[in-house]
Amino acid sequence: MYHLNYYLEQVAQLFADEQFVAEPVELYEPIDYTLRLGGKRIRPTLLMAANAMFGGSDDTVRGAALGIETFHNFTLLHDDLMDRSPLRRGQPTVYRKWDENTAILSGDTMYALAWRYFLRQPSPRLQEILNCFNETAIEVCEGQQYDMNFERRSDVGIDDYMMMIRKKTAVLLAGALKIGALYAGAPDSEVQKIYDFGIHMGLAFQLQDDLLDGYGDVAVFGKQTGQDIRDNKKTYLPLRAMEMANKDQQKLLAALFSSKEADDEEKKVKQVMALYDEIGLRDEVKRAIDDEFKKSIWTLDSIQVDEERKTALREMLSTLDGRKK
């Protein structure tokens, strides 16, 4: 135990053993479909690893592990509808495979099922745990709203962007870790540290995703590069580039990012990437990612448990960090 693979396997088994289909099947089949699409299941894995790190038994957190992943998949289901995304993990999204109403109602039900999983797992700190889950859920909703707002705004700065990805991505990773620690009965100071660790890891993870869109290896990254550029998506890359650019470069970048359905999309991607290179953006973004990774490592270092118990979380960090190589 204490290795990442152990928890990944525990979580995979947890979902394999669970029955999601019930009556009426029109409501539950899309839920089963969504929860069986797989994915890395990082959040329940973090939850179980944090619980074990602080001495908790795996049995005490299976409900919460199922709950946090069910909640995460509910947000993906509704986000895919709102963003009109046709595919998720290479398969048709629920609103495409069924219809919009199915996506709305099956999503709502998944949210309620997430609560059912949480409520089936008693704990002396249950109210704290449920508060953490719920406040995290509210922040995730706010993050999604900011993300949609930013698409319509032209004055988004790096600080706004960091606040948005904190809410949309980082708090759920941090919340999963905190919930694991609470189930284990960790002291408040250490609960706060594991939460902060998750925030930094989440920010690093999202910035890396932004970087990989520009500089990823298609074979490793698994998707085409430059998609954010084609979509005029204001990720960390163009926002930071704007700050670093001189007046002429700013003008060019703004023009490129306001063109709608450019005649030659590939030319646009090349122009943007050339500008990024001119500015020296890649190294700058790598520095920002490394900063967050370092902060997460320092926070993990400071947690008062045997080093051996930190193995899984250190392995998780290496795995995430390794993506950019």
Contact set with a copy of itself (CB under 8 A): 23-24, 26-27, 78, 81-82, 100-101, 104-105, 107-109, 111-113, 115-116, 119, 122, 126-127, 130-131, 134-135, 137-138, 141-142, 144-146, 148-149
CB of 243 to a copy of itself, least distance (A): 23
68 to 144, 150, 191, 224: CA distances (angstroms): 17, 27, 17, 29
- Nearest distance from residue 63's CB to a copy of itself, in Å? 12
CA angle 260-266-267, nearest 5°? 85
User: Please, what is the minimum distance in Å from the beta carbon of residue 85 to a copy of itself?
Assistant: 13
Closer CB to a copy of itself, residue 101 or residue 224?
Answer: 101
The CA distance from 20 to 14, in Å, is: 12
Least distance from C-beta 113 to a copy of itself, angstroms? 7
Q: Which two tokens mark 55?
A: 């001495």
Q: Which of 195, 271, 194 is nearest to 229 (CA)?
A: 271
Residues 6+ apart with CB under 8 A from 251: none
Return the residue matching tokens 């088994």: 13
Nearest residue (CB) to a copy of itself, 130 versus 262: 130
CB of 22 to a copy of itself, least distance (A): 9
Question: Of the two residues 110 and 285, which places its CB atom closer to a copy of itself in the complex?
Answer: 110
Quote the least distance from Cβ 141 to a copy of itself, whole Å: 4
Q: Which residues contact 73 (CB under 8 A, 6 or more apart)?
A: 34, 35, 37, 39, 110
Whose Cβ is closer to a copy of itself: residue 80's or residue 292's? 80
Closest to a copy of itself by CB, 82 vs 158, is: 82
Only one residue has tokens 């699409």, namely 37
Taking the complex as a whole, the smallest distance from the CB of residue 261 to a copy of itself amounts, in Å, to 21
How far is the C-alpha of 43 from the C-alpha of 75, rounded, in Å? 13
Per the DSSP assignment, residues forming a β-bridge with 92 are: 87
DSSP string, 153-196: -S---HHHHHHHHIIIIIHHHHHHHHHHHHHTT--HHHHHHHHH
Based on CB atoms, which residue is closest to a copy of itself, 142 or 284?
142
The nearer residue to a copy of itself, 58 or 142, going by C-beta atoms, is: 142
Please tell me the distance from the alpha carbon of residue 188 to that of residue 191, in angstroms, as a whole number: 5
